[in-house]
Structure 1
Amino acid sequence: MQNDFLMISPDLPRSVRSGEELDLPKLNDFLQANVPEVGTVAAVQQFSGGFSNLTYLLQTADQAYVLRRPPFGATIKGGHDMGREFRVLSLLQSHYDKVPRPVVYCETDDVLGAPFYIMTRITGVILRASMAPTLSLAPERMRQLSEALVDNLVTIHNLDISKTGLNQLGKPEGYVQRQVEGWIKRYQNAETDKIPAMDTTADWLRRNYPGDQAPAFLHNDYKFDNVLFASDEATGEPLSEIKGVLDWEMATVGDPLMDLGAMLAYWSEADDSPAYRNFNLTWLPGNLTRQEVVRRYAEKSGRDLSEILFYYVFGLYKNAVIAQQIYARWKQGHSKDARFGHLLPMIIELATKAANAIETGLL
């Protein structure tokens, strides 16, 4: 049973994709000059999950490390800021035990053609949407996992931003409006096809800013895909213990409900369209519904969620823009990853879902 589960995991490292190879001699020269204790990297593999930054497994004689770098051809600095992620991990080390230890950061393009950083590896199970067709977790286990995901988000939002020094990562005043205007501009810059629902959603967001929330530390891309669960030694199945949270490059300080809204925007349900269900595996039996996520977060955090519709709609819009940016990069020939060429239907699906939520007032 253990092997059956592990065989479907998309996060086992594989051969490096063509065009995304690392210059190993240059990398080893950099390591020898800056962190010789790491040793020499003898083998490199690549993790295939995700659509954003490229992630590699580095194997030395004594230990495995993980290297992160932006995708080739990327020009979206805010979404691929390796220095920010490295700084976040460094600040979190003493206050939140579910992050890998940062090892070294290279801010120049001289070594690998882009900034990158290296961290220790945390092993565990990541639940991705592609696993859903063959994943046979009991509904009770699936519910425990989704509850743990919500509770851990509350834990992150409860970190003392002054004590941890995390408050230096952003300016909470006017955060929501800056985000809305920024993502609208990003969409306009990356637009390839006319999607009316994107325009109507942008207009609605501008007219419906919510009241202020007490600022908190935000992961800014929190979902099953970025969480490592402990695994059962006998079966390999995920347990509700969260061992690590990954992908912190967009972390900041601001309205915590922006984080919750973003998670809800990924949270597909059983009666959603097939295209949207491909976005996550939260539609599997046992998972919390979006409304149950809201209720649990409100109960655990004590925050007012009366305006959660705004945050959910913005989360859908933001996800559509992210997909649009990736799709535009592929269409311009900057990426050879075939997955990126099939993103347009998902962009339309997200825009339509946002417009429907506005019309019905429902998540």
Structure 2
Amino acid sequence: MITPDLPRSVRLGEELDLPTLTAYLQSHAPEVGAVLDVRQFSGGFSNLTYLLKTADQEYVLRRPPFGANIKGGHDMGREFRVLSLLKGHYDKIPDPVVYCESPDVMGAPFYIMTRVPGIILRPSMAPTLTISPERMRQLSEALVDNLVAIHGLNIETTRLDQLGKPEGYVQRQVEGWSKRYRNAETDKIPGMDRVENWLQDNYPTDQAPAFLHNDYKYDNVLLVPDDATSEPMPVIKGVLDWEMATVGDPLMDLGATLAYWSEAGDSPAYKNFNLTWLPGNLTRQEVVTRYAGQSGRDLSGILFYYVFGLYKNAVIAQQIYARWKQGYSQDARFGHLLPMIIELATKATGTIESGDI
């Protein structure tokens, strides 16, 4: 049996000031009404996500983690703006309600959106998940096809082109994430240095620009439940976590998805990212083949994008680990991220050597 993603009690040290929030909503979003209960979604390692219950509606509040100072990865205003631009052009999103830029209310900027209920497939479900290989394959195909649809949005008519500067996007990403790693480095990991140098020496030719989600994987999509079989239908109801969305080379987005796409033969640590290693899922190469067929894009240089995706995941983990080590988070999960960072660096260097994704 698969149940929808259920929120739990708010973690210690991550509580919301409900009276202050209520006063703010009365002035800026009175349509929300009185918040009667607050819960916290436990999944994810990035922004904090809360469920707000009113008498007749459910909303979701998102804010950066405590101690975070990485604007590019925790920009609440940007995520709210993305949802506002997508509204009317892409129907698999929650409705944005209100954005608060001032830190005076919650200690950091935050925004509120409507809740889209559905099933989220998280890596922690693997031991008890009972989805058939046939349905799993359909789900993985739907995931790829929806990414193609996102990349197919017209960035001019939607005005999504105002979100970024496509020219030189790949090089800026490599240089930017390398700098983030240096700023968060806590332990010397030779593999990270080697991957960084390889990326800087192997820039590909830019693809035609497109709108990118930049964190696209199973646990950022909501699936429609099938009451008859207790399996999710291969229909994507919603896509979440748009804080890193931008415009640029769409293969950078595909590479990020591939970097999360673990397979049956991968190490246990690497499988923590996704459920794509379960029977029935497309392989990484099959993802590439399907994306190429659906989009018509040239994927001959996909190795670079996959290696960069692995490197970026390692940097994200390093940033989270560094915040934990500095005492900004009490979440015990974060204290065990160093082996994962090393594993990702090893995976990336092995990919460079073999040439296979």
Query: TM-score, with normalisation over the residues of structure 1?
Result: 0.98
What is the RMSD of the two structures over their aligned residues, measured on CA atoms?
0.7
Answering whether residue 84 of structure 2 is matched by residue 87 of structure 1, we say no
Alignment correspondent of 2:354? 360
Alignment correspondent of 2:2? 5
> How far has the Cα of 1:22 moved from its partner?
0.2
Equivalent residue letter for 2:284? R
Alignment correspondent of 1:181? 175
Alignment correspondent of 1:120? 114
Q: Which runs of 5+ in 2 are unaligned?
A: none
Distance 1:279 1:254 in 2: 24
Alignment correspondent of 2:164? 170
Aligned residues: 357
Equivalent residue letter for 1:273? S
Distance 1:202 1:291 in 2: 24
SS in 1 for 2:20: helix
Residues 1-363 of structure 1: matches in 2 within 5 Å?
A: 4-6=1-3, 11-363=5-357
**Taking every aligned residue pair, what percent have the same amino acid on both sides?**
79
Q: Which runs of 5+ in 1 are unaligned?
A: none
Distance 1:171 1:338 in 2: 38
Listed one character per residue, the Cα deviations across residues 301-322 of structure 1 (whole Å, up to 9, x for unaligned) are 0000000000000000000000
SS in 1 for 2:2: helix
- TM superposition outliers: structure 1 runs of 4+ over 6 Å: none
Task: Check whether the contact 1:217–1:252 (CA below 8 A) recurs between aligned residues.
Answer: yes
Listed one character per residue, the Cα deviations across residues 90-123 of structure 1 (whole Å, up to 9, x for unaligned) are 0000100000000000001010000000000001
Distance 2:31 2:170 in 1: 43
Listed one character per residue, the Cα deviations across residues 48-98 of structure 1 (whole Å, up to 9, x for unaligned) are 000000000000111000000000111111100000000000000010000
Distance 1:337 1:67 in 2: 20
Task: Check whether the contact 1:125–1:231 (CA below 8 A) recurs between aligned residues.
Answer: yes
Distance 2:21 2:286 in 1: 47
> How far has the Cα of 1:180 moved from its partner?
0.1
Distance 2:330 2:246 in 1: 31
> How far has the Cα of 1:212 moved from its partner?
1.5
> How far has the Cα of 1:177 moved from its partner?
0.1
SS in 2 for 1:119: strand
Listed one character per residue, the Cα deviations across residues 148-167 of structure 1 (whole Å, up to 9, x for unaligned) are 00000000000000000000
> How far has the Cα of 1:278 moved from its partner?
1.8
SS in 2 for 1:274: coil
Equivalent residue letter for 2:9? S
Task: Check whether the contact 1:128–1:224 (CA below 8 A) recurs between aligned residues.
Answer: yes
Task: Check whether the contact 1:5–1:235 (CA below 8 A) recurs between aligned residues.
Answer: no
SS in 1 for 2:130: coil
SS in 2 for 1:161: coil
> How far has the Cα of 1:5 moved from its partner?
2.3
Query: TM-score, with normalisation over the residues of structure 2?
Result: 0.99
SS in 1 for 2:281: coil
> How far has the Cα of 1:274 moved from its partner?
1.0
Listed one character per residue, the Cα deviations across residues 183-202 of structure 1 (whole Å, up to 9, x for unaligned) are 00000000001100000000
SS in 1 for 2:273: coil
